């Protein structure tokens, strides 16, 4: 049965949480060489080759293949390894496979990371044309533009260029067929797995708006843009990808978003998410991971105590818009109006009467909204 499976490499303890890593079209699992060993410290990493790429047989797919066919091959691989549920991360076509799995097999996907990918890849025509030309001429003509499509600046990875040169043209064309038919935009809202989107800021193939489109549609998804990265981010920016994936797999962003919603309320967070732009996305992710995912989850202090400290700090620095938000949060965390008043009264001593006066006016306006 081995010959019917995707070629793969496993790293890490068999008892660790499984993590499947998918490649981009034209590459092998070597795309993850600078990231997978580090991830294997905490996970059972399984990285796989597309049909006709690396060590995978070309006849695993044929003309008219779909992303669903590739996803079935990934599930067969997972089944052969005794893996029922797994975290998944994939680049480009590998990312599309992850989206398909998350929509059609949600019970198998514990978390999802989609890197330098898309929910539609700019429609069918470019891929139909590429598939036709590859079937007629082979892959050599693509090698000339590979560096500019895959990497920013003068960066290059010769091994990945060899992967494309040595790929089977028929299987490569079949993967193009899969990309041609792929459009999951209408199903993205069904994804329930915690989802991370990673965009290369200099990616010409799947630029940041493609990832933003997915982030906007998938409930509670997180988007991170990597400066200096193009289409093959794990190869060009491995440290940034590793840091981002570790935070995602460790649940910091996910737990941070949960706490943020519990403290500030869904209405506020949804409004903040709606206002998010590519310019502010990294800051919003930083807030979720660091402030809410690490500080507010620390059990040393209760949420009531943290609200009191936060109110004081905001008064001290004159951040009255933020103060209004955190007066609401303090009420949600169980502080009474009398306790909030007592905190603000103490700020008159240590932050100054004018600051406390403005704070009382802000708090009174917020508390009046409850009446």
User: Which CATH fold topology does 2-250 show?
Assistant: Rossmann fold (3.40.50)
**Alpha-carbon gap, residue 234 to 240, rounded angstroms:** 8
SS3 8: strand
- pLDDT in 10s for each residue of the chain, 371 residues: 345 899 999 999 898 899 999 999 999 999 999 999 999 988 999 999 999 999 999 999 999 999 999 999 999 999 999 999 999 999 999 999 999 999 999 999 999 999 999 999 988 999 999 999 999 999 999 888 888 888 888 888 889 889 999 999 999 999 999 999 999 999 999 999 999 999 999 999 999 999 999 999 999 899 999 999 999 999 999 999 998 998 888 766 677 888 899 999 999 888 888 888 778 877 887 788 778 887 897 778 999 999 999 999 999 999 999 999 999 999 999 999 999 999 999 999 999 999 999 999 999 999 999 87
CATH 1.10.760.10 fits 303-368, yes or no: no
- Who contacts 342 (Cβ-Cβ below 8 Å, separation ≥6)? none
Q: Name the token pair of 317.
A: 């620095």
Distances (CA, A) of 24 to 156, 219, 277, 357: 15, 25, 26, 59
- The domain limits of the chain are 2-250, 303-368
- For residues 198 and 116, the answer to whether their CB atoms sit within 8 Å is yes
Residues 6+ apart with CB under 8 A from 9: 29, 36, 46, 47, 48
d(CA 68, CA 72): 6
Query: Which one, of 134, 156, 132, 137, lies nearest residue 146 by Cα?
Result: 156
Tokens of 113: 């990371």
Return the number of other C-beta atoms located less than 10 Å from residue 12's C-beta. 19
């Amino acid at each position: 049965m081995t010959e019917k499976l995707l070629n793969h490499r496993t790293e890490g303890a068999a008892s660790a949480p499984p993590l499947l890593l998918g490649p981009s079209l034209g590459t092998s699992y070597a795309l993850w060489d600078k990231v997978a060993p580090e991830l294997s410290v905490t996970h059972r990493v399984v990285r796989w080759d597309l049909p006709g790429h690396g060590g995978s047989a070309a006849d695993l797919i044929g003309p008219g293949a779909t992303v669903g066919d590739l996803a079935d091959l990934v599930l067969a691989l997972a089944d052969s390894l005794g893996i029922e549920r797994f975290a998944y991360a994939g680049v480009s076509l590998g990312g599309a496979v992850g989206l398909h799995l998350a929509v059609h097999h949600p019970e198998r996907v514990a978390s999802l990371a989609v890197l330098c990918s898309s929910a539609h890849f700019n429609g069918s025509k470019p891929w139909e044309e590429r598939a036709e030309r590859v079937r007629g001429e082979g892959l050599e003509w693509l090698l000339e533009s590979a560096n500019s499509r895959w990497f920013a600046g003068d960066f290059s990875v010769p091994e990945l260029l060899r992967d494309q040169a040595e790929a089977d043209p028929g299987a490569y064309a079949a993967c193009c067929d899969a990309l041609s038919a792929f459009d999951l935009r209408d199903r993205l809202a069904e994804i329930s797995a915690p989802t991370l989107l990673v965009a290369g800021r200099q990616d010409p193939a799947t630029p940041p708006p493609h990832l933003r489109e997915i982030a906007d549609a998938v409930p509670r998804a997180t988007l991170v843009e990597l400066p200096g990265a193009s289409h093959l981010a794990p190869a060009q920016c491995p440290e940034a990808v590793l840091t981002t994936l570790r935070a995602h797999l460790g649940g910091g962003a996910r737990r941070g978003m949960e706490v943020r919603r519990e403290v500030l309320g869904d209405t506020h967070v949804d409004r903040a998410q709606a206002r998010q732009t590519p310019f502010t996305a990294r800051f919003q992710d930083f807030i979720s991971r660091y402030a809410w995912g690490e500080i507010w989850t620390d059990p040393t202090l209760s949420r009531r105590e943290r609200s009191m400290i936060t109110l004081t700090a905001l008064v001290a620095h004159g951040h009255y818009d933020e103060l209004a938000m955190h007066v609401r949060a303090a009420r949600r965390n169980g502080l009474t109006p009398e306790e909030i008043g007592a905190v603000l009264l103490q700020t008159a001593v240590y932050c100054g009467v004018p600051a406390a006066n403005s704070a009382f006016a802000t708090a009174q306006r917020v508390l009046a909204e409850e009446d």
